[in-house]
Amino acid sequence: MAPDPNIQPSTRLMGSDGPVELSGRAIGVSMPCPTCGYDLRGASAIGQCAECGHQVRDVLASAIDPQAHRLPPLADPRAVGDGLVFISLGLAVCVALPLIGMLCVWIATQTDRLLLDSRLVDLAMFIGAVAVLALGLLGCWQLRPRHKGPLQRAARKAIRLAGLGTLLMGAGLLAMPMLDGMVGLVGTLAAWAGMLLSLGGVRGVLVEAGRRCRLFRTATLQRQRIPTLMLTATLAGACLTGVRVARMVDPAAVGSIMWLSVLGLTMTLMLAMGLVYFVINAMWIRRDLRQPPPRLAELLRE
């Protein structure tokens, strides 16, 4: 439908300090048109792109984030962004490694060929455990509470829970290669409990810091919700623990609980995909915390 020529587009735009009148003002900085790439510097703020006709007002509206600017500033936004990325990466590694291990074991049982030397598996799990510990603890260190700032309580909770969770995940990964023993079972439980603790702990920081990132606030499909991750982790952990217990009780029953193994593997796969989105979300937030979007006044000149 063609735009109604009788309805004029608004010449005002909401900035962080209230509505700004755009008529008589021009773009004062280098700013590529999102449609064609033409540099809009000098273009009238209520005009159109000289190349493709894109409304300059729309380009301005998508470049600023007054909602984020109105929130109280974080004490150390860079560290918060880094902390979120480190913790999410640690969680992703904690799931990716056992998942690869499970797939290797599954392929080996299907083809009767061992894909990896068991010493290599042990070494990979050891390196993975060290990586999970390093990433998780580094993340907690970055989130350490600063004086003032709106994140103090959430950060304290994140450090307590994610710190303990990281230690459990690291210890669990170290114990996991002992596949069929009691130690392996305790290891699996410790790793899943650690994951739930870390997710629950970091949630408050993610939500509060995420309010400052428009992409995170407005994303629907690509935004990973922590409660969903926790539910998936719980289901995956329950299935895999069930398989281990069944195997310990009756090693011959492995065939009859195949469905449980497949369900556990599927849940773990879904958890891994969710964690990849969690890492991507954390990187969006980190980017906007490090380099907040410009204020409207910074983009305009008289």
Binding footprint of Zn ion on the chain (CB under 5 A): 33, 35-36, 38, 49, 51-52, 54
Strand extents, DSSP E, 174-277:
none
The nearest distance, CB 58 to Zn ion, in angstroms, is 11
Closest CB to Zn ion among residues 58, 122: 58
Please give the Cα distance from 88 to 49 (Å, whole number): 40
Minimum CB separation from Zn ion for residue 57, in Å? 13
Provide the minimum distance between the beta carbon of 64 and Zn ion in the complex, in angstroms, as a whole number: 18
- The SS3 assignment for 26 reads strand
At its nearest, how many Å lie between Zn ion and the CB of residue 162?
45
Nearer of residues 43 and 158 to Zn ion, judged by Cβ: 43
For residue 27, give the H/E element and its range: strand 26-27
Retrieve residue 170's tokens: 């690291």
In sequence order, the 6+-apart residues with CB closer than 8 A to the CB of 76 are 146, 149
The smaller minimum CB distance to Zn ion, of residues 19 and 37, is found at 37
Give the pairing type, strands 12-15 and 18-21: antiparallel
Tokens of residue 74, six digits: 């974080």
- Shortest Cβ distance from residue 36 to Zn ion (Å)? 3
Give 33 or 175: the residue with its C-beta nearer to Zn ion: 33
Nearer to Zn ion, 56 or 275 (CB): 56
Token couple for 246: 């069944």
